[in-house]
A and B are shown apart, each in its own frame.
Chain A
């Protein structure tokens, strides 16, 4: 009845491996690591994060830095966003683009003041490193900080919990970052995340990760949360998951991520796939990423076909049951002309055709802190 995903090489262990197990985690292989899928249960963890604060170990993600003169400009050849104008302490979401404009990964880019920091997906990091090394000039130094763990603290009470532990961290606003000191341990903290909630990502030297995680969960507002709830939270937040909702075959316009295309650079270009992206912006794309809401309780999962009448018009790329909303939600791609909010479609799940409607994303409103 159960099937486990198999990986080719034995998974690596995280710095917090023993800590997760001691806190009751069920560990599964994911992105080359043994990772906690859940502790007490996905729905309980999901609800806890929306109401309080959840601590996620996302150390499988790649923490990279680029340094050397012109690092920001050099990176701009590979991403559609402005990097050179990012002020120190500011960050932005962007896309690593193949030469044809296909999306190789989505990533966070931060100007730390000293260098350009990237956080990339765990499953993509080795390919990203190879791609960056191939396409960046030799004088730009690319460093993979695999000696750093990465913790995400997400939820409405994250700011109070972290603020008490790390003075000053609460003053960050959404998409800003800075260096902090925690009892002599250097922390690089960003006010960002991938749950739709206010929260932080904390880069900590791996040897101090356990101490920090323990200090965080000693706060009654904070519980450790697994990958299962991370996925249901990001789906409710309408945030695409690389390898599922984004792939190398999809360009940023089809992915409905035009906010990541800096206005200035739409005209000036000078990045991979600019021509294809400009054409898609002008003429529209053949398919578009959309959100779907379904009635009833039966979820439509990745791979489910989307129909308009008897014609297949798209495919679900990720889907599940929304604990917050109490009904199934999904993300997928449909052909042009089917993406308007409210469009009635059907999704095939096994022998059933389930009624679905194109819905505005996020499904659950974002609650980022942009300053008072």
Chain B
């Protein structure tokens, strides 16, 4: 299993043929209290760097982009009743969706944990 990060503060964890996507601790901290998460439909075809989900905090709505191209195979239905899971456990229980990996080479452009950490430290 390996986890990658984007400059837009999404994480993506690869497990064999599929990957799980969520937003990082840094992102949830910046967004503040999350009141609603609009997830993609299962079966939706997502394109790398295009809209995948929307996070509504008390303050504002923010887009979440797809880190890679793929088809949504599962969404985290727990976020429907408890969107604050994204605040309390952004990188585990507060995951957003799982998708297929259309093109493994797209992962190469993403950051690993160390690179993302230094990216965030530089913000």
Given contacts A38-B32, A298-B38, are A2 and B56 in contact (CB under 8 A)? Answer: no
* Most A-side CB within 10 Å, residue of B33, B60, B61, B62: B33
User: Is B33 in contact with A297, judged by CB distance below 8 angstroms?
Assistant: no
In the complex formed, the residue of B with least CB distance to A297 is B36
Residue from the list A2, A296, A298, A323 in contact with B58, Cβ < 8 A: A323
Q: Which of B60-81 contact A (CB under 8 A)?
A: 60-65
- Contact of A350 with B by CB under 8 A: yes
Inside 8 A of A43's CB, which chain B residues have their CB? Answer: 32-33, 58
CB of A184, distance to nearest CB on chain B (Å): 40
Inside 8 A of B10's CB, which chain A residues have their CB? Answer: 1
A297, B33: Cα distance in complex, Å = 13
In the complex formed, the residue of B with least CB distance to A351 is B38
CB of B84, distance to nearest CB on chain A (Å): 9
CB of A355, distance to nearest CB on chain B (Å): 15
In the complex formed, the residue of B with least CB distance to A227 is B59
- Contact of B35 with A by CB under 8 A: yes
User: Is A228 in contact with B35, judged by CB distance below 8 angstroms?
Assistant: no
- Contact of A317 with B by CB under 8 A: no
A37, B33: Cα distance in complex, Å = 13
Q: Which of B4-38 contact A (CB under 8 A)?
A: 8-10, 23, 27, 30-33, 35-36, 38
User: Is B60 in contact with A350, judged by CB distance below 8 angstroms?
Assistant: no
User: Is A42 in contact with B61, judged by CB distance below 8 angstroms?
Assistant: no
Interface size class of B (residues with CB under 8 A): 20 to 34
User: Is B32 in contact with A42, judged by CB distance below 8 angstroms?
Assistant: yes
User: Is B32 in contact with A41, judged by CB distance below 8 angstroms?
Assistant: yes
Given contacts A2-B27, A297-B83, are A321 and B35 in contact (CB under 8 A)? Answer: yes
User: Is B9 in contact with A1, judged by CB distance below 8 angstroms?
Assistant: yes
Inside 8 A of B107's CB, which chain A residues have their CB? Answer: none
- Contact of A3 with B by CB under 8 A: yes
Given contacts A1-B23, A1-B64, A323-B58, are A350 and B38 in contact (CB under 8 A)? Answer: yes
In the complex formed, the residue of B with least CB distance to A302 is B60
Inside 8 A of A323's CB, which chain B residues have their CB? Answer: 33, 58
* B47-65 contact mask (Cβ, 8 Å, vs A): 1 or 0: 0000000111111111111
Q: Which of A291-306 contact B (CB under 8 A)?
A: 296-299, 301
Inside 8 A of A41's CB, which chain B residues have their CB? Answer: 32-33
- Contact of A205 with B by CB under 8 A: no
- Contact of A224 with B by CB under 8 A: no
User: Is B38 in contact with A228, judged by CB distance below 8 angstroms?
Assistant: no
User: Is A298 in contact with B32, judged by CB distance below 8 angstroms?
Assistant: no
- Contact of A320 with B by CB under 8 A: yes
User: Is B64 in contact with A42, judged by CB distance below 8 angstroms?
Assistant: no
In the complex formed, the residue of A with least CB distance to B84 is A43
In the complex formed, the residue of A with least CB distance to B87 is A41
Given contacts A41-B32, A350-B54, are A301 and B9 in contact (CB under 8 A)? Answer: no
* A321-344 contact mask (Cβ, 8 Å, vs B): 1 or 0: 101000010000000000000000
Q: Which of A1-49 contact B (CB under 8 A)?
A: 1-3, 37-38, 41-43, 46
Inside 8 A of A296's CB, which chain B residues have their CB? Answer: 36
Inside 8 A of A1's CB, which chain B residues have their CB? Answer: 8-10, 23, 27, 55, 62-65
Binding site for B on A (CB under 8 A): 1-3, 37-38, 41-43, 46, 228, 232, 296-299, 301, 320-321, 323, 328, 350
Binding site for A on B (CB under 8 A): 8-10, 23, 27, 30-33, 35-36, 38, 54-65, 83
Give 29 pairs: A residue, B residue, CB < 8 Å, sorted on A.
A1-B8, A1-B9, A1-B23, A1-B55, A1-B62, A1-B63, A1-B64, A1-B65, A2-B8, A2-B27, A3-B62, A38-B32, A41-B33, A42-B32, A42-B33, A43-B32, A43-B58, A228-B58, A228-B59, A296-B36, A297-B35, A297-B36, A297-B83, A299-B56, A301-B61, A321-B35, A321-B36, A321-B56, A323-B33
Besides the contacts A2-B31, A320-B58, what 8 more A-B pairs have beta carbons closer than 8 Å? Answer: A1-B27, A41-B33, A42-B33, A42-B59, A228-B59, A299-B35, A320-B59, A323-B58
List of 9 A-B pairs having minimum Cβ-Cβ separation, nearest first: A321-B35, A43-B33, A1-B8, A297-B36, A42-B58, A298-B36, A321-B58, A1-B9, A228-B59
